[in-house]
Amino acid sequence: MFEWWTLKRSGSRPGAARFGVWAVAWASMVLAIGACSGNGSSSVDLRRENVFVFGRGQDSVGLDPAHEDDGESFNVTGNIYDTLVRFKVESTEVEPSLAESWEISEDGKVYTFHLLKGVTFHDGTPFNADAVLFSFLRQHDPKHEFADVGGPYKYWDNMGMSQIVKAIEKVDDLTVRFRLVRSEAPFLANLAMNFASIVSPTAVVKMRKQFNFHPVGTGPFMFESWQRGQKIVLRKNPHYFGGPVKLDKVVFAAIPDNSVRFQAFKAGKLDGFNFPNPFELDAIRSSPGVRFLTQEGMNICYLALNTQKPPFDNVLVRRAINYAINKQAIIDNFYQGLGTVAKNPLPPVVWGYHKELVPYSYDPAKARELLAEAGFPDGFETTLWAMSNPRPYILAPDKVAAAVIADLEQIGVRARKVTYDWPTYLEKTDHGQHDMAFLGWSGDNGDPDNFLYMLLSKTGATIPATNIAFYRSDAFTDLLEKAKVLTDQNQRAALYRQAQEIFHRDAPWVPVAHSVQVMIVRDNVEGFHLHPTSRVDFRGVSIRRP
Amino acid sequence: MFLYFLRRLLYVVPTLIGVTLVVFVTVSYAPGDAARARLGSRATAEALQRERTRLGLDHPPFPVYLESRDIAWETPPAELVLGPLHIVYGPRSIAKTQYVSYLLRLFRGDLGISIVRQRPVAQEILERFPATIELTVSAMLIAMFVGIALGILSAVNKHSILDYLSMTGALVGVSMPIFWLGLVLLVLFSNLFPGWPMGQRVDYLSELQPVTGFFLIDSLLRGSWSDFVEVLRHLLLPALALATIPMAIIARMTRSAMLEVLTEDYVRTAWAKGLSRWAVYSRHAFKNALIPVITIIGLQFGSLLGGAIITETIFSWPGVGTWILDAIQNRDIYVIQGGVILVAATFTTINIGVDLLYAWIDPRIQYD
């Protein structure tokens, strides 16, 4: 039996000193490992030629975009796959991608796409009409062989595509036709979203469920490896149809702690990262060699007033709440300059935004007046719901809620804060259990319909509701339905402006803020653009190395 | 001894089943549901219902269950209703209840699949657990060696400056928030040694691929000494951060156990026999002080193996702690179940190991 403590039982030196030696040995080992660092780092830098290391807060869930709905999955898949049409750089206007052109029938019900010739998937199989059909029919047709493989097709359902699309047909090898149930203006923009990515049928058939972890597309980068919870590595697709790709590799490194991401960037380990700590923004801005990119986000944070519950069924009360809240103070204090005050349910980056509309000012006296007129001279008691976790459109929900509660107290409204974890919060608010509740939305396709119809139409007000103000205005919903079937953007924009006026009058929400998205990259990074949909696109990115 | 060991192993089975029951009750009756967590905020009612059916969540959770205001379960074909209490009977109906069907699958060795990622839970454990073991074992090695050494030094030199220093150090160690210590270590090392790794198990650009999942072993299997050093460098800071608390606890426990033993008659006898200091401290005192120290080490080891959520987050370490935490936030039931079973099994195994160690260290302790 080996007993380490009896090894030197009759040693001449005192025992205590021997233990001390161990401590010294440990410390020196630490230093020895530390000393190895010099060689290690220089070889790492050599290898970094043309590799972009991107630091982000979370790993992806899966890499088949039809199955996923989280931004960190889409950030990777957007670089692996292409869609028939895609959003232009820095805008949500649509341009050709895998489809070089398309025609829309007079009645807006038939879309015919002409596909690019000679494009191949990363596995060498050809891209053609069959691949397009496969990619969409597995999501659309419940009898398709892959309808039930790999989990639910989330976005297809969420965007209501099953109700929009009647049939998808192959005309010839390079022509595909979509027949719609009704004219649906946002349809084309939907096809630019990640869930509409074209996948390699051969690879899906071969990998089945595993395809989600071994993606094959036509995009600028090919999947190389994935170490769960650590990193995803993509390498350049030498045959990319959109021209030469400048980066050799992209590494998506998962670094959950916001401060550590910044430290890793400072130490030269990363070429870019997102979601910095708000309190570190000044330090980041003043670091050398940093490019600080911002873009007005395509999102809205709002306080929904449950119009089915008294006293919020009274429009005077709802307007009073709108006058009572000091939004500018919220932006200044809890968005760290990375937000703008909202007045409409649409963010300014979306076309159809009502610029001229005069917002409710911060005016507690006016609010008290309105409350008195509504029959509540002494205010009332109510609840204010806030989620427990930060969301892209609200970084500090607990603090914003506290500020709003304090504002409401000024006009005699005594609100108690209610909070739940995220899935529970969604469940309870979409069942209408709240009086007032914070929620928000990030746009998917840049279409006003994606905000207004989802969040404020009568259709959205059925349980489980996406319209958690349970706002049921016929006039408002009629305008949206009219706008949905028109194809002329100017006509549609006019209708959406009218709708925003009705929204303003009825005040089912307090629109609070639009948050600004932030990305930090090194100043030797070229061709990096932020997109309103928050997707990270490495197509045109290059790194200038001295 | 062998029989004792066997009996202890047998007790593990009901313990683990009990654990699954507790987790299932908690998850079933907690608000929020897995279909919602899976489909997100934009899901339609029909899609949610379809997903519930697919996940088997439309069946009652237990053969005996209470009606719930929030959750609608499909009524099983064979059921007895007594007020709010429902009792399912008939083997088919019982087998379909969520808990029983989970247990039936568990007995076949199937831990289920992750609802969020649609991957087998067992596979995810195989990916995650080695990372945790590698980190925990390293941290415990540091904690044991340094902690025991400090404890003995303090006890032997009671009320000396060394004693005060190391016990103050231990107090600071126990109270130090790891998220702060971890960050300080990172910043410190990246300034002292430019290029020092900022978390993760290997460099972002390393080509090292997991084989066993233990990167120290994998790098050696690959025959690359530089990879091995690289992995060691990545391991050092998280292990140090994770080691501080157990190290401090072990040091304090060793000191007090030693002090107690040093006043015993047999130690006085040993001195009287004229033995050397080393022989007295190591053979007579320390060996007898070891029992409580081993107990503490076992407990600390067990809880660290359950995942060190904060250390894992700071150092981007893909261990079981953050895995289970994510699962709880996403209502990923089978991952929660698998994770808790894993933690419970580890804990009980270590406990058995500690009990066996007692007998090995102290021949007076006998099991039969």
Say which amino acid occupies B173. Answer: G
**Nearest one of A322, A309, A300, A297 to A519, comparing CA atoms:** A297
Domain A2-62+219-289+523-543, CATH homologous superfamily name and number: Periplasmic binding protein-like II (3.40.190.10)
Q: What is the CA A65 to chain-centroid distance, rounded?
A: 13
DSSP string computed for A184-238 = -TTHHHHTTSGGGPPP-HHHHHHHGGGGGGS---SSSEEEEEEETTTEEEEEE-T
Residue A23 has pLDDT above 70, yes or no: no
% of chain B beyond a pLDDT of 70: 97
Count interface pairs A-B at CB distance under 8 A. 219
| Pair of tokens at residue B142 | 């540091």
pLDDT value, residue A32: 52
For residue A441, list its beta bridge partners. A300
CATH code matching the domain that covers A299-516, chosen among 3.40.50.2000, 3.10.105.10, 3.40.190.10, 3.30.200.20:
3.10.105.10
Would residue B181 count as lying in a domain? yes
Is the Cβ–Cβ distance between B346 and B214 less than 8 Å? no
Terminal C-alpha separation, chain A: 61
Do the domains A2-62+219-289+523-543 and A82-213 sit in the same CATH topology, yes or no?
no
Q: Residue A404 half-sphere exposure, CB side, CA atoms within 13 Å?
A: 29
Is the Cβ–Cβ distance between B214 and B133 less than 8 Å? yes
Residue A303 has pLDDT above 90, yes or no: yes
Q: CATH number, domain at B269?
A: 1.10.3720.10
Q: What is the mean pLDDT of residues A480-508?
A: 93
Best residue of A37, A41, A139, A454 to probe chain B, by most B CBs closer than 10 Å = A37
Would residue B172 count as lying in a domain? yes
Is the Cβ–Cβ distance between B167 and B335 less than 8 Å? no
Q: Which residue, chain included where needed, has tokens 């670094």?
A: A255
Is the Cβ–Cβ distance between B219 and B231 less than 8 Å? yes
Q: Which residue, chain included where needed, has tokens 């980068």?
A: A221
pLDDT value, residue B335: 92
For residue A341, list its beta bridge partners. A513
Q: Maximum CA pair distance of chain A?
A: 101
Pairwise CA distance, residues A236 & A247, whole Å: 7
Q: What is the mean pLDDT of residues A393-410?
A: 93
DSSP-based three-state secondary structure for A347 = coil
Q: What is the mean pLDDT of residues A117-144?
A: 95
pLDDT value, residue B70: 64
Whether B146 and A23 lie within 8 Å, measured CB to CB = yes
Q: What is the mean pLDDT of residues B123-130?
A: 92
Residue B90 has pLDDT above 90, yes or no: no
User: pLDDT, tens digit, for every residue of A216-241?
Assistant: 999 999 999 999 889 999 999 999 99
Is the Cβ–Cβ distance between A287 and A497 less than 8 Å? no
Is the Cβ–Cβ distance between B170 and B251 less than 8 Å? yes
pLDDT value, residue B368: 62
CATH code matching the domain that covers A82-213, chosen among 3.30.2310.20, 3.90.76.10, 3.20.20.60, 3.40.50.970:
3.90.76.10
Would residue B201 count as lying in a domain? yes
Q: Is A230 exposed, middle or buried (0-12, 13-18, 19+ CB in 10 A)?
A: buried
User: pLDDT, tens digit, for every residue of A172-192?
Assistant: 999 999 999 999 989 999 999
HEC string of chain B equals CHHHHHHHHHHHHHHHHHHHHHHHHHHHHCCCCHHHHHHCCCCCHHHHHHHHHHHCCCCCCCCEEECCCCCCCCCCCCEEEECCEEEECCHHHHHHCHHHHHHHHHHCCCCCECCCCCCEHHHHHHHHHHHHHHHHHHHHHHHHHHHHHHHHHHHHCCCCHHHHHHHHHHHHHHHCCHHHHHHHHHHHHHHHCCCCCCCCCCCCCCCCCCCCCCHHHHHHHCCCHHHHHHHHHHHHHHHHHHHHHHHHHHHHHHHHHHHHHHCCHHHHHHHHCCCCHHHHHHHHHHHHHHHHHHHHHHHHHHHHHCCCHHHHHHCCCCCHHHHHHHHHHCCCHHHHHHHHHHHHHHHHHHHHHHHHHHHHHCCCCCCC
Would residue B266 count as lying in a domain? yes
pLDDT value, residue B42: 67
- The domain spans of chain A are 2-62+219-289+523-543, 82-213, 299-516
For residue A418, list its beta bridge partners. A385
Is the Cβ–Cβ distance between A512 and A217 less than 8 Å? no
Pairwise CA distance, residues A342 & A332, whole Å: 13
The residue range of the domain holding B185 is 121-361
Pairwise CA distance, residues B143 & B165, whole Å: 17
Would residue B83 count as lying in a domain? no
DSSP-based three-state secondary structure for A482 = helix
> What part of A 406-435 touches B (C-beta under 8 Å)?
420-424, 426-428
Q: By the CB < 8 Å criterion, does A32 face chain B?
A: no
Pairwise CA distance, residues B111 & B27, whole Å: 16
Pairwise CA distance, residues B155 & B168, whole Å: 14
Would residue B48 count as lying in a domain? no
Q: How many domains does chain B have?
A: 1
**Alpha-carbon distances of A451 from A72, A137, A163, A242, A442, rounded to whole Å:** 22, 27, 18, 32, 8
Whether A423 and B330 lie within 8 Å, measured CB to CB = yes
Pairwise CA distance, residues A300 & B205, whole Å: 38
Would residue B368 count as lying in a domain? no
User: pLDDT, tens digit, for every residue of B272-321?
Assistant: 988 888 888 888 888 888 888 998 999 889 888 876 888 999 999 999 99
Best residue of B42, B121, B218, B288 to probe chain A, by most A CBs closer than 10 Å = B42
Q: Which residues of A touch B142 (CB under 8 A)?
A: 26
Is the Cβ–Cβ distance between A295 and A90 less than 8 Å? yes
**Nearest one of B286, B303, B285, B288 to B249, comparing CA atoms:** B303
Pairwise CA distance, residues A464 & A460, whole Å: 8
Pairwise CA distance, residues B11 & A497, whole Å: 70
Average pLDDT, chain B: 87
Q: Which residues of B touch A421 (CB under 8 A)?
A: 32, 329
Whether A22 and B149 lie within 8 Å, measured CB to CB = yes
Cα dihedral sign, B244-B246-B247-B249: positive
The dihedrals phi and psi of B82, each to the nearest 5 degrees, come to -120, 95
> What part of A 229-258 touches B (C-beta under 8 Å)?
229-231, 251, 253-257
For residue B113, list its beta bridge partners. B120
User: pLDDT, tens digit, for every residue of A49-76?
Assistant: 789 999 998 899 899 999 988 889 999 9
Whether A158 and B39 lie within 8 Å, measured CB to CB = yes
Pairwise CA distance, residues B23 & B38, whole Å: 19
For residue A178, list its beta bridge partners. A111, A168
pLDDT value, residue A331: 93
Pairwise CA distance, residues A483 & A63, whole Å: 35
Q: What is the mean pLDDT of residues A133-161?
A: 89
Is the Cβ–Cβ distance between B361 and B66 less than 8 Å? no
Among A11, A36, A230, the residue with its CB nearest the CB of B278 is A11
> What part of B 255-274 touches A (C-beta under 8 Å)?
none
Residue B88 has pLDDT above 50, yes or no: yes
Q: Which residues of B touch A160 (CB under 8 A)?
A: 44
Whether B199 and A225 lie within 8 Å, measured CB to CB = no
Would residue B47 count as lying in a domain? no
Query: Does the global pTM surpass 0.80?
Result: yes
Residue A420 has pLDDT above 80, yes or no: yes
CA distance B207 to chain A (A): 10
Q: Which residues of B touch A391 (CB under 8 A)?
A: none
Residue A497 has pLDDT above 90, yes or no: yes
Q: What is the mean pLDDT of residues A302-318?
A: 95
| H/E run at residue A518 | strand A509-522
**Alpha-carbon distances of A536 from A16, A416, B177, B205, rounded to whole Å:** 59, 39, 35, 20
User: pLDDT, tens digit, for every residue of B13-57?
Assistant: 898 899 989 988 888 777 767 787 777 766 777 778 888 888 888
pLDDT value, residue B175: 87
Residue B134 has pLDDT above 70, yes or no: yes
